[in-house]
Amino acid sequence: MNPLYRNDRPGAFPDSWYVASADIPAERPPLKGDVTVDVCIVGAGYTGLSAARHLARKGLDVVVLDAHRAGFGASGRNGGQVCSEYDYPQTTLIKKYGAGPARLLWDLAEEAKADLRDLCASHITEARYTPGVMHSTYTAQETAEDQAEVDLLSREYGYDQARVYGPDEIGSLVKSPHFHGGLLDMGAGHIHPLRYVLGLARLAEEAGARIFERSEVHRVDKGNPAIVATNKGRVTARFVILAGNGYLPNLDRKVAARVMPLNSFIGATEPLGARADEVFGQDIAVHDSKWVANYFRLSEDKRLLFGGRPSYSLGFPEGIAALMQKRIPKIFPQLQDVKIDYAWGGTLGVTIPRMPAVIRVAPNILSAGGYSGHGVALSGLAGKVMAEAVAGQAGRFDTFADLNVPGFPGGAAFRAPILRLAMTWYSLRDRLGV
């Protein structure tokens, strides 16, 4: 089934705390008739809007098409954690890709965070970037691994923003009886993700890009120029960028085989008031070391925003709020009686090596997605390097493309059963503590 409509109504944002706390602009009109442009972008999330802004600033004529609204997808619903690195630590990337390529990847991930921080400081202040993200651990071995990573980052890259808190200190930051330790990274941070993506859309338009909403792309005909077709319109474009990530239907087989949609869910509790101090000692975001990770932080009105993956099927489960209500006391028993005011889900993209899938689909068709839980920062950079590639500088695009992210065995048709098997296996590992 088309992931664009599997869990959502056409053009409707989910009933999230983010929507309740953002200024949603009036709907933009859909594309009607024929237009000819330099670049047509499919998808108005962080990836597509970042590419659009960079391209429009270079003076290119850019159109962005979204099946729903700008910011409708994962970009408007996520945990808001602006993390360092990729889904695997640098220690693993050095072993896998070698010191040189791992260094390039590190530098790109650092640039991704810096770009986001700069935008939040200058143009999108309403996203309220706040420094501090913790990776919390359950065992002495995991804490020791985090310490080794912090040592490596300091030795190899001079990174001095991360420090490990041990069993005696962790309770002063995150008030759960379950954590053994945690790596606190003050070079990472958290934002209001929907306000950020709405701000990106505004900046892309100010730079000259045109955004059309309720404009699902049904077909992309390869060629030079390429033809992009919606229900009511047609774009003739020198370049096309596919930026639909987990929501992209099977428009292109190569992309669909590599980027698997995965659902994640968030609950926002009632405002905790003074009880917020029973949960956090500092305004940081946390994700834990489970394979099927829990992630949480406080909202600006002191709700606990608590996320995780309680369902491994591709459709959303019934009663997400009740699922979150059960999950929260497993980390914070003191919140046994807390009420959930909002609960929602969203779809992200994951890949086998848990690295972004940046692909040249055809000489003039580029795609990026599959950030595997690290897209808040990395997607903006992916948009930027695709804009560079369109402008003829493909060096940084190729750093990602050369990762050669493989397809899932059996391609798009077998992604879903493989996902279910994999997630069941990983959640079993979490329960067994291995």
Ligand X SMILES: Cc1cc2nc3c(=O)[nH]c(=O)nc-3n(C[C@H](O)[C@H](O)[C@H](O)COP(=O)(O)OP(=O)(O)OC[C@H]3O[C@@H](n4cnc5c(N)ncnc54)[C@H](O)[C@@H]3O)c2cc1C
Binding site for ligand X (CB under 6 A): 4, 42-48, 65-68, 72-75, 77-81, 83, 216-217, 243-249, 251, 264, 266, 295, 307, 346-348, 369, 371, 373-376, 379
Residue placing its CB nearer to ligand X in the complex, 266 or 359: 266
Nearest Cα to Cα of residue 239 among 227, 248, 251, 247: 227
Instruction: Please calculate the CA angle 14-424-178 and round it to the nearest 5 degrees.
Output: 80
Q: What is the nearest approach in angstroms of ligand X to the Cβ of residue 166?
A: 25
Residue placing its CB nearer to ligand X in the complex, 167 or 412: 412
Q: What is the nearest approach in angstroms of ligand X to the Cβ of residue 190?
A: 8
Backbone φ/ψ region at 265: left (φ over 0), alpha (ψ -120 to 50), beta: beta
Q: What is the nearest approach in angstroms of ligand X to the Cβ of residue 255?
A: 10
234: number of Cβ within 10 Å = 16
Residue placing its CB nearer to ligand X in the complex, 89 or 249: 249
Residue the block writes with tokens 């619903």: 77
Residue placing its CB nearer to ligand X in the complex, 134 or 248: 248
Residue placing its CB nearer to ligand X in the complex, 74 or 412: 74
Find the distance separating the first CA and the last CA of the chain, reported in whole Å: 35
Contact criterion met (CB below 8 Å) for 114 and 261: no
Q: What is the nearest approach in angstroms of ligand X to the Cβ of residue 347?
A: 6
Q: What is the nearest approach in angstroms of ligand X to the Cβ of residue 168?
A: 28
Q: What is the nearest approach in angstroms of ligand X to the Cβ of residue 345?
A: 6
Nearest Cα to Cα of residue 349 among 425, 252, 265, 264: 264
Residue placing its CB nearer to ligand X in the complex, 4 or 139: 4
Residue the block writes with tokens 């990395």: 378
Q: By Cβ distance, which residue is nearest to ligand X?
A: 375
**Burial of 166 by CB count in 10 Å (0-12 exposed, 13-18 middle, 19+ buried)?**
middle
Strand blocks (E) in 271-325: 285-288, 295-298, 304-308
